[in-house]
Structure 1
Amino acid sequence: MVANQQEQISNYFLEQAKLSASSSEELDNENESIPMELNTINSSGGFLVVSTDKLSVEYTGVNLHGHDVGVIQANHPAPVKRLMYYFEMKVINAGAKGQIAIGFTTDSFKMRRQPGWEANSYGYHGDDGLLYRGHGKGETFGPSFTTGDTVGGGINYASQEVFFTKNGIVVGTVYKDVKSQLFPTVAVHSQREEVTVNFGKEPFLFDIKAYEAQERLKQQSMIEKISLPQNVSYGIVRSYLLHYGYEDTLNVFDMATSNSVPPISLSQQNGFIEQDDMYALSQRKTLRQLIRTGKIDAAFGKLRDWYPQTILDDNSPICFLLHSQKFIELVRAGKLEDAVKYGRVELAKFFGQEEYKELVRECVALLAYEEPLNSPVGHLLKESQREAVADAVNAMILSTNPGLKDSLSCLHSQLEKLLRQLSACCLERRSLNGDQGEAFHLHRVLTSSKMEKH
């Protein structure tokens, strides 16, 4: 393995450390504004009166024409980066004709028309129980609703459907062919009609949590219907244990499956060369155990004896990760004076280099808190930090294999490569749906896959 290839691998884990520092515990920064009240600025004006809490509306017009609708949207569009969105409307008074509607509309919707009457909108109407989607002709959908009824409108981003409820029961669903953002919308259209809206501040009549759970079970059921030969899943798990040097767990796994799984050759089926991950298995296991128990000096010693080429450059990213972990372990043990002395010698030389500054500051910040574990940099004291350093050392040792054909294959196990492919597929599917639906976090999946019992 040439030096620049080792440098590539070492820099990869340095970049991973930077990502961890910037995100810390927060994997999902996709915060969205959510509907909280009705938008009194963008409404049909004189045909309705909005309450001071901006959650109730009453029709005050005379209804001389079909376009004299009192329609109003929420102050924000329905959030899209989730499994589902839902809101409810209670009919306080059905008024003269009960021409009340609930639905979803875009930001360009004409605010004197019922939801569903215009393109790119959906509406469930109370006087006839019809569903309107994109034009003035309704289709048979559900029962009508009137005074005292509570109806709801929701979006299932997983199935790409709009659904409506009445008094806590799903009325029906319709395919959502609009990819742009949709605003929760209500409309009144005859004298004394009055409704109040619940955007989630109060409990819903409809059990949206149970509906979400049902959707997740449906997805899980679809996954479970996919049949995989037992030896394939066995091979993937085994390759994961091999790759990360979990030798003891691997031996137990092999014993447990020896009588139930027929032997396979992953190299024949997937181009996987097991010998690459068998390389230095015992040494990698030892080093992982040392790092996971905080014995960084001992890990350094073993590396000098076994693979000195990996730490020849004391200013390399891999050495930085080990030195910073030694500093963290001293803080963990409460040896703050020793940590300061160690930092002045081993971390100081990295501080002048731009690529390390942020990470050095994060480590040193541990000294500023009486309870560092509960501080903003407390994640450095968790087991996941030790695992990250152990992963980096593991990859560096794999990179010393003289028979290694793909220099970057030591970065990820076969399981992780499958997860990356899954991530790409999920992102592509989400893109086709207008970037709507739950995001897929590969980092979260990979972290949860590394069970501490290993």
Structure 2
Amino acid sequence: MAESKKAIGMDEWKRKLQAVNVKKEDMNKLVMNFLVTEGFADAVEQFQLESGTDADIDLTTVTDRMVVKKAVQNGHVVDAIEKVLSLNPEILSENPKALFSLLQQLFIELIRDGRMEEALMFAQKKLGPLAEEIRFLGEFERTFSLLILHNVANSSVSDLLKMSKRHKTANDVNEAMLISQTNEKETKLSSLLKMLAWVDKELEKEVTYPKIKDFSTCKLEDPAAI
């Protein structure tokens, strides 16, 4: 018979949590990293003044990323590409995913504007060669189908013309720029949450303990009540 798991009650678990000492400086660094990564330039500057936490990055690079991100979100993809190239041409040459996302989005914007012939030529000359990489082939085929479908709104590729696609492209480019600036592609907070989820899964194999089901409230749930 398999041994039952060890159980840790709410009171004991709270004592263990309270025994953990988290330095304010470390918390401030975590907040600063989030603000820098997400591109809140004004908040970065203000938090730097109030907390004394160094951003460890030129604030103009944060602003530059947000200029590019906003341009993509507004459908001004050519402006975004020109801005990225002016900052560092290697950002796109070293990140095929971001390059494909931008060119794909430019193709979509041409379709959105009804410039079908121009879109066809663009797909053949710019987008098609990238699709030779097998990882981009499926997405290229979906995108190219916008040229031949008569009722895109009711098709399986209707998502390509939604604003959420612009936001996804903007995030892909932001990630590429972030890597070139900080060697990170996501916030440290995101990484910590992923690590927490992994540890939680592993610990659950051996122990029953109060868990946080909803991180928006961080409320602990007593295992005895579950």
Task: Tell me what 2:222 maps to.
Answer: none
Q: How many percent identity over aligned positions?
A: 21
Amino acid in the other structure paired with 1:290:
A
TM-aligned CA distance change 1:276 to 1:414, over 3 Å = farther
Which of 38, 58, 65 is the equivalent residue of 1:244? 38
Report deviation, 1:369.
4.0
- The verdict on how the C-alpha distance between 1:350 and 1:279 changes in structure 2, with shifts beyond 3 A counting, is same
Amino acid at match of 2:62: L
Q: Deviations over 1:173-217 (max 9, x none)?
A: xxxx69xxxxxxxxxxxxxxxxxxxxxxxxxxxxxxxxxxxxxxx
Whole-angstrom distance in 2 between the partners of 1:335 and 1:429: 56
Q: Per the alignment, do residues 370 and 382 of structure 1 end up closer, same or farther by CA in structure 2, a change over 3 Å counting?
A: same
Matched with 1:422 is 196
- Trace 1:51-200 onto structure 2 (pairs within 5 A): none
Provide closer, same or farther for how the CA distance between residues 352 and 286 of structure 1 changes in structure 2, counting only shifts above 3 A: same
Following superposition, the deviation at residue 319 of structure 1 comes to 1.9
Change (3 A) 1:292 1:370: same
1:302 aligns with 2:83: yes
* Structure 2 unpaired stretches of 5+: 208-212, 215-226
Q: Secondary structure at the match of 1:274?
A: coil
Alignment correspondent of 1:281: 62
What is the deviation of 1:415? 1.8
- The 1:427–1:377 alpha-carbon spacing in structure 2 relative to 1, beyond 3 Å, is farther
Kindly indicate whether the alpha-carbon contact (under 8 Å) linking 2:39 and 2:62 is maintained by their aligned counterparts in 1.
yes
Alignment pair present for 1:340 and 2:120: yes
Paired with 1:358 and 1:339, the residues of 2 have a C-alpha distance of 18
Q: 1:430 to 1:340 in 2, by over 3 A?
A: farther
Question: Relative CO higher for 1 or 2, CA cutoff 8 Å, sep ≥ 6?
Answer: 2
- The answer to whether 1:291 aligns with 2:72 is yes
Matches of 2:86 and 2:160, distance apart in 1? 28
**Secondary structure of 2:160's aligned partner:** helix
Q: Secondary structure at the match of 1:352?
A: coil
Equivalent positions of 1:273-422 (< 5 A) are 274-276=55-57, 278=59, 280-312=61-93, 316-401=96-181, 407=183, 410-422=184-196
Q: Count residues with an aligned counterpart.
A: 197
Q: Tell me, in whole angstroms, the C-alpha distance in 1 between the residues paired with 2:194 and 2:185.
A: 12
TM-score by length of 1: 0.36
1:207-233 CA distance string (max 9 Å, x none): xxxxxxxxxxxx9xx99xx78888866
Query: CA offsets, 1:314-355, max 9 Å, x none?
Result: x93332221111112223344444332321221221233323
- The verdict on how the C-alpha distance between 1:384 and 1:413 changes in structure 2, with shifts beyond 3 A counting, is farther
Instruction: Please give the alpha-carbon distance, in whole angstroms, between the structure 1 residues aligned to 2:203 and 2:108.
Output: 41
Q: 1:312 to 1:350 in 2, by over 3 A?
A: closer
Q: Cα 1:417–1:276, aligned 2, differ >3 Å: closer, same or farther?
A: farther
Q: 1:254 aligns with which of 41, 46, 52?
A: 46
Largest Rg, 1 or 2: 1
Deviation at 1:396, TM superposition (A): 3.0
Amino acid at match of 1:424: W
Preserved contact between residue 104 and residue 127 of structure 2 (Cα < 8 Å)? yes
Aligned to 1:61: none
Which 5+ residue runs of structure 1 have no aligned equivalent? 1-118, 121-176, 179-218, 266-272, 434-438, 441-454
* Alpha-carbon distance change, 246 to 377 in structure 1, aligned in 2, over 3 angstroms: farther
State TM-score, norm by structure 2: 0.66
Measured on the aligned residues, the alpha-carbon RMSD in Å equals: 4.0
Alpha-carbon distance, 1:286 to partner? 1.0
Residue identity in the other structure for 2:200: C
* CA separation of 1:292 and 1:432: change in aligned 2, threshold 3 A: farther
